[in-house]
Amino acid sequence: MKISREDVLRVAELAHLELAPAEVATYREQLDSILTYVAKLEELDVSKVEPMAQVLFRAENDAHPELREDTPRPCAIADAVLSGAPDAAKPFFRVPKVLDR
């Protein structure tokens, strides 16, 4: 298998997912099948190929999107944003205690 039980647990930890024991086995099997499939990319010689870092089309006149001016604008949305939060204490989002002292 391309992926071990420890890999699955490590990835879950990195992704902040808590997996039930049965899920660990299922995901291991499914991820292994997908990783085995995608290994077909190894058939290609890509040593002289640049990665496609940008999708954006650039016309010959170089009509790329310009970055807009960094001009301050009023942004009075704090109330609307906080009203959607699960636990807000305006103007903050409240979370479980992070520091212990």
Interface pick for another protein out of 62, 68, 70, 101 (rule CB under 8 A): 68
CA distance 34 to 38: 6
The distance of closest approach from Cβ of residue 34 to another protein in the complex, given in angstroms and rounded to an integer, is: 6
The distance of closest approach from Cβ of residue 45 to another protein in the complex, given in angstroms and rounded to an integer, is: 10
Terminal alpha carbon distance of the chain:
45
Q: What are all long-range contacts of 95-101, with beta carbons under 8 Å and residues at least 24 apart?
A: none
Please report whether residue 9 would count as binding another protein according to CB under 8 A.
no
Q: What is the CA radius of gyration of the chain?
A: 23
Interface pick for another protein out of 6, 21, 22, 56 (rule CB under 8 A): 56
Interface pick for another protein out of 22, 75, 76, 77 (rule CB under 8 A): 77
CA distance 39 to 55: 24
Task: With CB under 8 A as the rule, give the number of residues binding another protein.
Answer: 56
